[in-house]
Amino acid sequence: MQIDIPAHIEKLLFLHDSLTIPAFGTFTATKTPALADYAGGTVTPPSKSLTFSENLSIDDGILINDIAVTHSIPTEEARKAVTEYVEKMQGLLGQREIVTLPNVGRLYKNYVQKIQFLPDTTNFNPESFGLPPLQFSPLARSREVENAPEPPAMPKIASSPPPAPAAPATVVSAPTTAAPPPPMPEPYTPTATRSGGAGWATAIGITLLLCALTAAIWLYRNQKNPPALTDADNTERIANPVPGSGKTNESPKKAEKPAQPEETTITLSQKEENQAQESVAEKMAAAREEAKTTQTSAKGSRECILVVATLREKANADRLEQMLKEEGFNVYFIQKNGYQVGIRFNYTRLSEVQEKIVTLQNLTGEKEIWIKKK
């Protein structure tokens, strides 16, 4: 009987928040509330996000019981079917293949032999299953213009007091003059409380300007009418005449020639010359010996090819090749019974080959690295 185990896994994830595949791992479903994307104008319904952990592999009995009840088979037969399916998945993952569970996700192993899970977009929340994202757009509202605030009331000017009531007609009073109107308030004039600093600055500026003008006038007059030379100045100038002018008895001195640098000659003794020749001969002999050693080591090296893995999928082979190139290896790649990916290098000792194998095992997690050429 052919049992579709991935279909049972998909069905049970709608009914349970946690589902364990015996000896393989556990799927956990976490509820996610509805999300609103204001930039895209969409509302996503509530859903469940799936995660996988290979550390939780103890059987909870849900999967095996569902298979036994659905197909009306004994529990042991259902357990056997699950075990065979798990062994099949482990074999594919060990060969660097990707295991796909329809409508659930994909499983694969990374380079450190850890199982990674990529979930699909299936919504496992039964309350919102099948609900598409909703589109919305913001509503346009007209803003009401608020009434402008009233300006503050101006202060009222005191008016004259109301006139006194007229006297009775029988009383005769002396004529009176009309009362003068009340005086109008004087306009506000700012007090010069801060004008003192500005006045001092102006006074100092005017004083400096006058000093500068006075100094300029004095310099101009001195340049126009230079002071006359005194006898002392004339005597000093005649006492120190220019050589060769004829005013003194001293004859002009001839210009002295610059001193010529002395030539020096360094001579080596016969002993020092022999020592120099011997040191040059020793250096040349050491260079010849080093060149011979380099040629001998280059001739004695051999080429080795180590194959890390033979993969069926081209994408997995390309990822392994890219990783080896990033680590600085000379990559060996050939399509033969799949895709063989490895490295090639030259060696002089067998211990170098063993060191390369250990390095590749720690880097890729592959334990079966075989030597193709040695």
CA 327 to CA 194: how far, in whole Å? 78
DSSP character at residue 183: P
Indicate the class that CATH gives domain 301-373. alpha beta
Kindly report, residue by residue over 179-217, the tens digit of the pLDDT.
556 666 555 555 544 545 667 889 898 999 999 999 999
DSSP per residue, 82-101: HHHHHHHHHHHHHTTPPEEE
Kindly report, residue by residue over 92-112, the tens digit of the pLDDT.
998 989 999 998 999 999 888
3-state helix, strand, coil in the chain (%, to 5): 35, 20, 45
CA 122 to CA 49: how far, in whole Å? 9
Full-model pTM: 0.36
Q: Where are the domains of the chain?
A: 5-130, 301-373
**pLDDT for 143:** 66
Check if the beta carbon of residue 367 is closer than 8 Å to that of residue 308: no
**pLDDT for 80:** 92
Cα distances (angstroms) measured from residue 317 to each of 112, 335, 342, 366, 368: 16, 10, 10, 14, 16
What is the radius of gyration, based on Cα positions, of the chain?
Answer: 55
CA 295 to CA 292: how far, in whole Å? 5
- The list of the chain residues with pLDDT below 70 reads 1, 140-198, 224-278, 280-281, 285-300
